[in-house]
Amino acid sequence: MQPDFFIQLMQTYTFDNVSLLVASAITFGFGFWEYIYSFRLVKREGSAPFPIWMHTFYFAHDSSFAVLFLIAASCNSWNWFLTGVSAALFVWTLFELFNFYKAVTVERREIWSRYYGENVTARQAIVSILLQLAVFYSLVNVVIMYIGPGCMFQWAAITNMVMATMPGLLWRERGSRKGGGMGIALVILGGTVNTFLPCGMFVGALPEVFNQPWFYIAGVAFTIIAVRNVLMVRSMPAKEAIAGEKRPIW
């Protein structure tokens, strides 16, 4: 399991390394903030801001590394950082279960009618989710097999790159702010910028991996895309307030 990777993390993540702890808290905070928006939007508007395949991809990623970090924590006297990362990833996994439930019960027609027709069934939706999970579990764990669990931070950076780009394609397809909005677009932009900062979590935790020209070049490219998504949402009509109902999510 590449124990040197976990040893390096335990040596790097100490309570004395305040700047890295703050940077990591901000990075995890953006992730939770994005999902809080997702919960509110799908509950209030019946549409999530992320396509279903992002949920299945993140579920496979988060649950796989949650188990690996849990095993590593159990082998290292339940180190606080390894245990905390595992717990956070398990929480994100539970978030995705909620998203699956809403996709099947609320968003089913919007997501799957193009494939199964207007009368798409819950069974068809569930089978589709399971097939996607099989694909993404295979993808994530084959890469882990090739590289080792030390690729967790690389995978996490990729999930942020996916977040910077793919929701915008869904919003453009909808042609409205339903299931999205300026708030979530700006949060994603902030999370994207934070991912690629020289003082951010990724460079701070593993500078030998991330403090490279291509990482910063990628940061510029994905930040431009995230800005473009903000401008696209801004160009769409604002959500209409309905008398007697809660104010629309911005």
pLDDT at 244: 66
113 vs 107: CA distance, rounded Å = 10
Query: What are the pLDDT digits (tens) for 2-17?
Result: 457 888 889 999 999 9
pLDDT at 213 over 90: yes
pLDDT at 28 over 80: yes
pTM, rounded to two decimals: 0.91
pLDDT at 216 over 60: yes
State the average pLDDT for the chain: 92
pLDDT at 249 over 90: no
Mean pLDDT calculated for residue range 125-151: 93
pLDDT band at residue 53 under the 50/70/90 scheme: very high
Alpha carbon of 140 to those of 56, 61, 152, 154, 161: distances in Å? 11, 6, 10, 11, 16
pLDDT at 1 over 50: no
Q: How much of the chain, in percent, has pLDDT values that exceed 90? A: 80
58 vs 56: CA distance, rounded Å = 6
For residue 102, the tally of other CB atoms under 10 A from its CB is 20
Mean pLDDT calculated for residue range 145-152: 84
pLDDT at 250: 84
Return the higher-pLDDT residue of 39 and 122.
122
Q: How much of the chain, in percent, has pLDDT values that exceed 70? A: 98
35 vs 49: CA distance, rounded Å = 9
pLDDT at 151: 87
Mean pLDDT calculated for residue range 13-35: 93
Mean pLDDT calculated for residue range 161-179: 94
pLDDT at 243: 67
Q: Quick check: 183 and 38 in contact, CB under 8 A?
A: no
Per-position b or e across 161-180, b if 16+ CB within 10 A of its CB: bbbbbbbbebbeeeeebbbb
Query: What are the pLDDT digits (tens) for 64-112?
Result: 999 999 999 999 999 999 999 999 999 999 989 999 999 999 999 999 9
